[in-house]
């Protein structure tokens, strides 16, 4: 039995305790200064795009090696203790960090990690891991601010958890050298193979699901700095659509349509900025192909079913969400 303030709980799943008790308590307990609003306020593809258009085109496209697995518990708990003053909550977070985790590799073999002897890492997929990762990453961002590196390197850091880029005007290499040294002091390591310095005027980089960099006008071929959903983002939504429309899905058509439309609506709500025509068209084409194939198999329709299940039938009569329908696409010149 565990006591938290006036609450008594039976210890069961560490994740259950964190989700039901710790996170709600964090909203009501005396919390020192949460800097997290400032950490995540600029984690926005729009802001990244605006900065490269303003001339911050020397980019450090950073990648941390096994970030979630290497966060030092002792330093992380110190960071948490600056914000949460309830010792019971701190104790529970410490227990959660040391909870054993069972994983399976590609061959299906069991692998155990964590445990009482563990001194590093917060489980990926754990309910508190995103929050804890942001808290620890704030150490780097705070040091960046306090040492005036933004002015020194004429640069901005855009970050979300362990995903971050440094946008500079001519000092990307110096910013990378400084970042490498600071990360080492924090017990973290840059993935040297994936951390790259790029010139956004001549090559694209992917960040927060977008691909940012040089684009071309379809008619004149003139270049501009644009933002589009990345190829990986488009491929992921296609895979999720295919997952909904598997032959094994025996749900009623209205239920399948609702699930599919919710998936597409959420994706398009996030990817609502930038040059979207080609990405939206690619997703719409895939959705139509998968829906038509799904309906043909369900209704035992011979052939490809393009006559019975035309685009008009799928989008208008059946009510499947069409991303490009009714949306005025912004002209590329608006993104220069």
Higher pLDDT, 298 or 149: 149
Query: What is the pLDDT confidence band of residue 15, given thresholds at 50, 70 and 90?
Result: low
What crossing angle do the helices spanning 231-244 and 277-298 adopt, rounded to 10°?
20
Q: What pLDDT score does 101 carry?
A: 74
Q: Is the pLDDT of residue 290 over 90?
A: yes
Q: What pLDDT score does 309 carry?
A: 86
* Direct distance between the N- and C-terminal alpha carbons of the chain, in angstroms, rounded to an integer: 61
At residue 280, φ and ψ (nearest 5 deg) are -60, -40
Query: What is the pLDDT confidence band of residue 330, given thresholds at 50, 70 and 90?
Result: very low
Q: Please tell me the chain's helix, strand, coil percentages from 3-state DSSP, rounded to the nearest 5.
A: 45, 15, 35
Q: What pLDDT score does 50 carry?
A: 95
**Hey, is 288 helix, strand or coil?**
helix
Q: What pLDDT score does 156 carry?
A: 97
Q: What pLDDT score does 19 carry?
A: 52
Query: What is the pLDDT confidence band of residue 6, given thresholds at 50, 70 and 90?
Result: very low
What crossing angle do the helices spanning 253-270 and 277-298 adopt, rounded to 10°?
170
Q: Is the pLDDT of residue 324 over 90?
A: no
- Tokens (6 digits) for 138: 């704030």
Mean pLDDT calculated for residue range 219-238: 93
Query: What is the pLDDT confidence band of residue 23, given thresholds at 50, 70 and 90?
Result: low
Q: What is the pLDDT of residues 75-88, one digit of tens each?
A: 999 999 988 888 88
Give the torsion through C-alpha atoms of 231, 235, 237, 241, to 10 deg: 160
Q: What is the pLDDT of residues 101-122, one digit of tens each?
A: 777 776 777 777 777 778 888 8
Contact 335, 224 (CB under 8 A): yes
Q: What is the pLDDT of residues 175-194, one digit of tens each?
A: 999 999 999 999 999 999 99
Q: Is the pLDDT of residue 9 over 70?
A: no
Question: In the predicted model, what is the mean pLDDT of the chain?
Answer: 83
Contact 138, 39 (CB under 8 A): yes
Distance from C-alpha of 166 to C-alpha of 187, rounded to nearest angstrom: 20
Closest of 233, 189, 215, 192 to residue 70, by C-alpha: 189
- Tokens (6 digits) for 146: 């306090």
Q: What pLDDT score does 165 carry?
A: 96
Higher pLDDT, 204 or 2: 204
Mean pLDDT calculated for residue range 269-279: 94
Distance from C-alpha of 158 to C-alpha of 46, rounded to nearest angstrom: 11
């Amino acid at each position: 039995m565990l006591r938290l303030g006036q609450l008594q709980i039976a210890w069961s799943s560490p994740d259950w305790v964190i989700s039901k008790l710790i996170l709600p308590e964090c909203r009501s307990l005396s919390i020192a200064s949460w800097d997290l609003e400032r950490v995540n306020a600029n984690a926005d593809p729009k802001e990244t795009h605006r900065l490269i258009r303003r001339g911050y085109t020397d980019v450090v496209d950073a990648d941390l090696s096994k970030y979630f697995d290497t966060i030092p518990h002792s330093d992380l708990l110190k960071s948490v203790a600056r914000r949460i003053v309830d010792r019971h909550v701190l104790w529970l977070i410490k227990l959660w960090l040391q909870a054993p985790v069972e994983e399976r590799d590609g061959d299906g073999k069991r692998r155990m990690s964590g445990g009482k002897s563990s001194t590093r890492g917060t489980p990926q997929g754990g309910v508190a891991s995103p929050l804890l990762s942001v808290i620890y990453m704030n150490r780097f961002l705070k040091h960046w601010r306090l040492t005036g590196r933004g002015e020194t390197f004429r640069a901005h850091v855009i970050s979300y958890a362990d995903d971050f880029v440094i946008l500079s005007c001519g000092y990307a290499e110096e910013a990378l050298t400084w970042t490498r040294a600071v990360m080492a002091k924090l017990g973290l390591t840059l993935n040297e193979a994936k951390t790259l310095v790029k010139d956004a005027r001549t090559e694209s980089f992917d960040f927060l699901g977008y691909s940012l960099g040089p684009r071309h006008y379809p008619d004149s071929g003139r270049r501009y700095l644009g933002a589009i959903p990345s190829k990986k983002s488009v491929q992921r939504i296609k895979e999720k659509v295919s997952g909904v429309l598997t032959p094994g899905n025996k749900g009623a058509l209205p239920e399948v349509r609702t699930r599919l439309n919710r998936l597409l609506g959420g994706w398009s709500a996030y990817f609502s900025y930038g040059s979207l025509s080609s990405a939206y068209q690619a997703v719409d084409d895939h959705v139509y192909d998968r829906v038509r194939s799904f309906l043909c198999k369900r209704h035992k329709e011979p052939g490809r079913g393009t006559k019975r299940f035309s685009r008009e039938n799928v989008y208008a009569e059946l009510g499947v969400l069409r991303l490009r329908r009714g949306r005025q696409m912004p002209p590329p010149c608006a993104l220069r």
